[in-house]
Chains A and B, each alone.
Chain A
Amino acid sequence: MLWRVVVDQALLLRADGGGVLALNRSGTALWQALDVPGTAGVLAARLCETYGSEPEVLAEDISLTLLDLADRGLVSFDDR
């Protein structure tokens, strides 16, 4: 995976093909939080202060975004 963050917006590109995907700000925050992998709940706990949301609500949004990124081959899930 190849990526850049321009100020506060991430661009992602798969090394094996496809086009450049630009994430919005919240997607970028999630991408940067993924630097240390975790469950949706753990990631929500990391990001809830930034967004002032309840971790449960955030975890649902994060799960949906992760599924979308996984469909595009940009993240993968670990079964452990």
Chain B
Amino acid sequence: MAHQRLGGVLARAIASGAIDASDEQARDAYALAMEEAATDLLLERALLRWSAVLESTAIPYRVLKGAALAHLVYPEPAVRSFGDVDLLVRSAELDAAVVAFTRAGLQRRSPELHPGFDRRFGKGVTFVDSDGWELDLHRTLAPGPFGLRVDDSGLFAAAPEWLTLGGRTLPCLAPTDMFLHACLHAVLGDAEPRWGALRDVVQLAHDRRVEPHEVITRARSWRVDAVVARAVSTAWTLLDVDADLELVRWAQSEQPTRRDEHLLAAYGSGRSYARLAAASLPEIPGWADRIRFAVWHANPRGRTRRPAQHIRRVIRAAAGKPVPR
């Protein structure tokens, strides 16, 4: 439960009598919930600080996942814990945001593969502050090929939901986009879906602000309908949900194309950065950028003297073959 950050919902379920627990189990659940809530508060304080960095440089942003869902989607924030802060900026403003956060004292977890890589092809940039709190700065909603399909400008065109926190109001995604993001995260975020991520899908699917036709239309226009359908079906199956919703009927009738099936497999067991990179290549619009993507992987920052060997590694990974170190 600690790994899945479900202490808050467990404590609430025990307190309401929804599940039976011994006194010791109840004490443990309560202690875990308190620990998670304390972490959430400290992360929310970091969110206030980091969103102010973007506001001071006039970079538009949206708060994603954690705090946004806890306050805007769940009946009480304590039942939706989180482990980092997620902010979305437009691709065109990613570099400026990186500069702003670096000036604010945050450090990148890993260097950029090549100047310009993150804003063109990456999911975003992960930072850590001096206390160890993590900021995930996104420019799209998922890693790999499906992330490349998301229209990030559309995410800023929709009217935001507003999160009131610490006396400020912070913009978050529109409900439909929140739902699509929850689906992408549940299926593409980890090789095995996390319970918390699937629970977000279920919670949002029941939210009246999420309109099924709009979800389906947007998912198709982004060409992530296979991911959304997979997320809903998986959530309903693994969490044993029996609510009969229009979105569920749609999801269960969807058949992914062979191409999408192949891409989804790249995110599952045997997932690796190389495999996702290889699967991403055909999704990059334009040959110039495809060549850039391949060359930058083959020769990051001009360090390697053997780019051909690296290209072979990418091709092997694309074919699902083992890649020698």
Contact = CB atoms under 8 A, between A and B. Distances in A.
Chain A's interface size range is 10 to 19
A11 B44 contact: no
Contacts of A13: 38, 41-42, 44-45
A11 B34 contact: yes
B129 to A, nearest CB: 14
B45 A4 contact: no
B15 A11 contact: no
A26 interface: no
Nearest to B31: A6
A52 B203 CA distance: 38
Given A11-B34, A15-B166, A22-B34, A6 B11 contact: yes
A16 B45 CA distance: 8
B82 interface: no
A4 B42 contact: no
B175 interface: no
Contact of A4 (B15, B30, B48, B77): B77
A65 interface: no
A9 interface: yes
Contacts of A1: 166-167
Given A4-B78, A5-B76, A6-B30, A11 B41 contact: yes
A7 interface: yes
A36 interface: no
Interface residues on B, range: 20 to 34
Interface in A2-46: 2-9, 11, 13, 15, 20, 22
Given A1-B166, A6-B30, A15 B45 contact: yes
B12 interface: yes
B33 A2 contact: no
B202 interface: no
A9 B34 contact: yes
B158 interface: no
Contacts of B167: 1, 15
B225 interface: no
A1 B41 CA distance: 10
Contact of A6 (B42, B45, B78, B165): B78
Interface of B: 8, 11-12, 15, 30, 33-34, 37-38, 40-42, 44-45, 48, 76-78, 165-167
Given A1-B166, A2-B41, 5 more contacts: A2-B44, A4-B41, A6-B34, A8-B15, A11-B37
Interface of A: 1-9, 11, 13, 15, 20, 22
25 contacts: A1-B166, A1-B167, A4-B37, A4-B40, A4-B77, A4-B78, A5-B78, A6-B8, A6-B11, A6-B30, A6-B33, A6-B34, A6-B78, A7-B15, A7-B30, A8-B15, A9-B34, A11-B37, A13-B42, A13-B44, A13-B45, A15-B45, A15-B48, A15-B166, A15-B167
